[in-house]
Amino acid sequence: MTVGLNAFILVAGLLFAVGLLGVLLRQNTLVIYMSLELMLNAVNLALVAFSRYNGTMDGNLFVFFIITVAAAEVAVGLAIIVALFRRRQSVMVDQLNALSR
């Protein structure tokens, strides 16, 4: 049995929607961060699926770059969150509102 492209796109779309809703609705910075990663991976999935379907390596190539950049970004992002927690004793978004005048 082969899984069709539509199924991949559906899963990728669902993953993306879950990630987006997570970014929009959750308060914890760590969870928001995870949701962001989820969205990235949804895109990765879609790209790989397209690549497979088209029979070219373009999509796969993109995915490698995205994974690499995401890895670096995670390192920086987590470091920022740790530093933020050390300073503010909190990672909740509703308490990180120093810019609201």
Q: Which residues pair with 92 in a beta bridge?
A: 28
Whole-angstrom Cα distance, residue 97 to residue 101? Answer: 9
CB of 63 to other proteins, least distance (A): 22
Number of shown-chain residues binding other proteins (CB under 8 A): 11
Q: What string of H, E and C letters represents the secondary structure of 7-52? A: HHHHHHHHHHHHHHHHHHHCCEHHHHHHHHHHHHHHHHHHHHHHHH
Binding mask 39-78 for other proteins (x = CB under 8 A): ----------------------------------------
CB of 27 to other proteins, least distance (A): 9
Contacting positions for other proteins (CB under 8 A): 23-24, 32, 93-94, 96-101
